[in-house]
């Protein structure tokens, strides 16, 4: 048998399966190793052609599509064995030597020799795999259509299963007088459908998007403060009360803004209450102003905090506090473009969520009283029993942990956030972020506010009273906007004639300066209201006094009635002589035998009845 070597044919060149790429004029053939692409030039004498079929494939594309990982290994093995058999047929090797060279027994070598045809070459040694191809099914198109219809109609919800679809297929096949396929056939066909569609039908759109939606996890930024992300989370830690460490007050909330380019934390806010507009305002104000200006200074609890600035874009979710018109107006005033997460796209904002998760798993989960991320991790750990930190102590600890985070190498950056921030500004002409022209105005824009009346004794807010002579001309005349600093409640800022005036505190019912500590004390240290009687003797005396007043009222009422009837005045005076009432009749003046008793009309076995006042 003869075969022409053409470009694109498979050959064995120097013992390697190769593809012919070019044929020279002097018998030099350029080949590339199959699967590796190595180019080499060999002489035609060192090439053994491989007829893949009696009608050899002509095009390179057809050959590449025909070869698989499985049959490629078979071709290489057949080529090696054919070369050894050829040496045996030419009496170069004995049967035992050839068998040893191939690693076979002598009987197995003779079996190969019987199959080998010198005319057809290595193809005669390639094993044939009878049976259906992998993944094929011996079912009719009608059965496949029934399985597909049952899959579309019945494979829905968390309870969706292959078995349930198979039962529906059996029912449909029975109705059409067809033999039902096996469960494995139904399962194999369902698995061949689009995996995203199948997952969405069973687990829903959100779950399918989490697995199959493209999410490269890379948000490209060119410089710091180009994009920032903000989010809230509840800290995995149980805290105790400041006034009484034996009491549990719950888990704190954390709000944080992170610069996406350098991963530094621009600002954060801690509270024991659910996130509100105060959390957003304080976090943003801390992020925009330098921490050593006196504004938001107590928020950081650390002097080494050089990160601040105005993000060009601030990404947030759709919580009500993020969508507040007050917050949005303040952001746009300072040329910050707010962007809210597309509803249903939970993966947006993932960088700040991963930052928060890193804080929890690498730091918070090692504190006494941690709740871990879930009940499985917590196991039998008693979080409430092990808790020890108060809210104030946790704020100090967290500020130190932020400092540690900024100095730790980030897994994606390859450097620490601090180094990334410094290097980013070293490459630019402007070595610092933009600063506010009027820090005081920015500070006031992001303070929480309330509308209060101005009374003669000043303004009352948060159990404190504030007064200044600057309020004299509006006392009892107007309600004003009052702004207060959650970190320093000893002063407030009151808007008078279009400008904010600083008003000091003149009295307070509690000693806390921080608004969050005040709220915690009000929530968890319930004090008895003024007027509460705590003495048992005082309570008993109150009942005695009430009885005395009641008796006095009765005596006065009887006196008034007697005064209206002269014939009863003497009797009333005698009855109440010396304050001791006397009976209606006297036994000495009215003999008992003269009193007529009608005993026959009295029946003591009957139930007593009330007299009618008309009787």
How far apart CA 134 and CA 166 sit, in angstroms, is 22
How big is the chain by its Cα radius of gyration, in Å?
A: 47
Q: From residue 441, how far is each of 295, 423, 447, 483 by CA, in Å? A: 11, 31, 10, 12
Per DSSP, the three-state class of 340 is strand
Dist CA 371 CA 4 (whole Å) = 76
Residues 433-450: tens digit of each pLDDT: 888 888 888 989 889 889
What region, left, alpha or beta, does residue 414 occupy, with left being phi > 0 and alpha being psi -120 to 50 degrees? left
Query: Among residues 78, 112, 80, 79, which one has the least CA distance to residue 95?
Result: 112
Phi then psi dihedrals of residue 508, to 5 deg: -150, 145
Per-residue pLDDT of 477-529, as tens digits, reads 778 999 998 888 889 999 988 889 999 998 877 777 788 888 887 777 777 77
CA atoms lying within 13 Å on the CB side of residue 590: 7
pLDDT at 564: 73
Task: Compute φ and ψ for 10, nearest 5 degrees.
Answer: -90, 135
Question: What pLDDT is stored for residue 130 in this prediction?
Answer: 57
CA atoms within 13 A on the CB side of 587: 1
- pLDDT tier for residue 280 given thresholds of 50, 70 and 90: very high
User: Can you spell out the DSSP letters for 346-366?
Assistant: TTTTHHHHHHHHHHHHHTGGG
Taking each helix axis as running N to C, give the angle between helix 277-288 and helix 325-333, from 0 to 180 degrees, rounded to the nearest 10: 10
Residue 466 has pLDDT above 70, yes or no: yes
**CA dist., res. 537 & res. 540, Å (int):** 5
Contact present, 237 and 371 (Cβ < 8 Å): yes
Q: What is the mean predicted confidence (pLDDT) over 537-566?
A: 86
CB 371 within 8 A of CB 378: yes
The pLDDT score that the predictor gives to residue 3 is 65
pLDDT-above-90 percentage for the chain: 26
Determine contact, residues 502/482, Cβ cutoff 8 Å: no
Least confident among 295-299, 344-348, 462-466: 344-348
- 8 Å CB contact between 483 and 448: yes
Is the pTM higher than 0.95? The answer reads no
Question: Tell me: the pLDDT tens digits for 311-366?
Answer: 999 999 888 888 888 889 989 999 999 998 876 555 455 678 888 888 888 899 99
pLDDT digits (tens, 9 = 90+) for 62-107: 444 444 555 666 777 777 788 888 888 888 888 888 888 888 888 8
Average pLDDT over residues 587-593: 52
Query: pLDDT per residue over 206-218, tens digit each?
Result: 777 767 765 545 5
pLDDT of residue 175 exceeding 50, the answer is yes
119-174 pLDDT per residue, tens: 767 767 766 555 565 666 678 889 999 999 999 999 998 889 999 999 999 999 99
Distance of CA 159 to the CA centre of its chain: 26
Would you say residue 238 has pLDDT above 90? yes
Q: Which of 16-25, 271-280, 504-513 has the highest mean pLDDT?
A: 271-280
Q: State the pLDDT at residue 127.
A: 65
Contact between residue 265 and residue 302 where contact means Cβ atoms under 8 Å apart: no
Q: For residue 16, count other CB atoms closer than 10 A to its CB.
A: 17
If you write DSSP's letter for every residue of 139-203 in order, what string do you get? --HHHHHHHHHHHHHH--STT--HHHHHHHHHHHHHHTT-PPPPHHHHHHHHHHS-HHHHHHHHH
HSE-up of 211 (CA within 13 Å, CB side)?
A: 11
pLDDT at position 252:
92
Mean residue pLDDT of the chain comes to 80
What is the DSSP secondary structure assignment for residue 54, as one 8-state letter? S
């Amino acid at each position: 048998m003869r075969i022409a070597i053409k470009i694109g044919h498979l050959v064995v060149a120097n013992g390697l399966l190769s593809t012919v790429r070019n044929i020279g004029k002097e018998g030099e053939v350029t080949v590339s190793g199959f699967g590796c692409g190595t180019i080499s030039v060999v002489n035609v004498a060192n090439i053994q052609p491989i007829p893949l079929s009696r009608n050899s494939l002509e095009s390179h594309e057809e050959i590449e599509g025909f070869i698989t990982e499985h049959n490629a290994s078979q071709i290489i093995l057949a080529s090696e064995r054919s070369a050894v058999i050829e040496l045996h047929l030419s009496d170069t090797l004995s049967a035992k030597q050839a068998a040893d060279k191939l690693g076979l027994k002598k009987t197995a070598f003779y079996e190969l020799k019987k199959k080998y045809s010198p005319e057809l070459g290595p193809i005669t040694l390639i094993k044939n795999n009878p049976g259906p191809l992998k993944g094929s099914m011996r079912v009719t198109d009608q059965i496949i259509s029934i399985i597909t219809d049952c899959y579309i109609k019945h494979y829905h919800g968390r309870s969706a299963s292959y078995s349930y679809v198979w039962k529906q297929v059996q029912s449909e096949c029975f109705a059409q007088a067809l033999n039902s396929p096996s469960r494995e056939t139904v399962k194999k066909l369902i698995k061949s459908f689009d995996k995203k569609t199948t997952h969405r039908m069973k687990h829903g759109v959100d779950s399918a998007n989490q697995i199959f939606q493209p999410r490269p996890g890379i948000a490209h930024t060119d410089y710091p403060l180009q994009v920032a992300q903000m989010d809230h989370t509840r800290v995995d830690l149980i805290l105790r009360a400041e006034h009484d460490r034996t009491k549990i007050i719950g888990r704190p909330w954390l709000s944080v803004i992170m610069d996406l380019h350098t991963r530094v934390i621009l600002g954060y806010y801690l509270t024991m209450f659910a996130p509100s507009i105060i959390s957003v305002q304080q976090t943003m104000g801390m992020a925009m102003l330098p921490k050593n200006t006196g504004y938001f200074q107590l928020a950081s609890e650390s002097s080494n905090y050089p990160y601040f600035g105005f993000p060009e874009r601030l990404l947030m979710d759709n919580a009500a506090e993020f969508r507040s018109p007050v917050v949005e107006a303040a952001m746009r005033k300072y040329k910050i473009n707010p962007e809210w997460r597309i509803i249903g796209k939970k993966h947006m904002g993932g960088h700040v969520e991963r930052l928060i998760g890193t804080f929890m798993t690498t730091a918070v989960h090692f504190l006494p009283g941690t709740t871990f991320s879930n009940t499985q991790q917590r196991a039998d750990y008693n979080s409430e029993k092990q808790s020890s930190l108060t809210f104030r102590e946790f704020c100090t600890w967290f500020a130190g942990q932020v400092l540690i985070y900024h100095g730790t190498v980030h897994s994606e950056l390859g450097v620490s956030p601090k180094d990334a921030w410094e290097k980013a500004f070293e490459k630019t002409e402007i070595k610092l972020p933009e600063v506010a022209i009027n820090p005081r105005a920015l500070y006031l824009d992001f303070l929480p506010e309330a509308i209060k009346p101005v009374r003669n004794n000043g303004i009352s807010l948060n159990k404190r009273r504030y007064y200044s002579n600057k309020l004299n001309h509006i006392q009892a005349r107007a309600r004003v906007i009052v702004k207060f600093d959650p970190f320093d409640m000893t002063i407030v800022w009151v808007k008078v004639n279009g400008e904010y005036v600083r008003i000091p505190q003149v009295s307070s019912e509690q000693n806390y300066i921080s608004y969050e500590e005040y709220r915690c004390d009000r929530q968890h240290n319930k004090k008895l209201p003024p007027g509460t009687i705590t003495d048992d003797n005082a309570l008993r005396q109150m009942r005695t006094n009430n009885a005395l007043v009641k008796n006095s009222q009765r005596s006065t009422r009887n006196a008034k009635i007697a005064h209206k009837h002269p014939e009863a005045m003497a009797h009333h005076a005698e009855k109440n002589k010396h304050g001791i009432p006397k009976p209606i009749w006297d036994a000495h003046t009215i003999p008992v035998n003269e009193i007529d008793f009608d005993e026959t009309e009295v029946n003591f076995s009957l139930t007593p009845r009330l007299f009618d006042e008309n009787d």
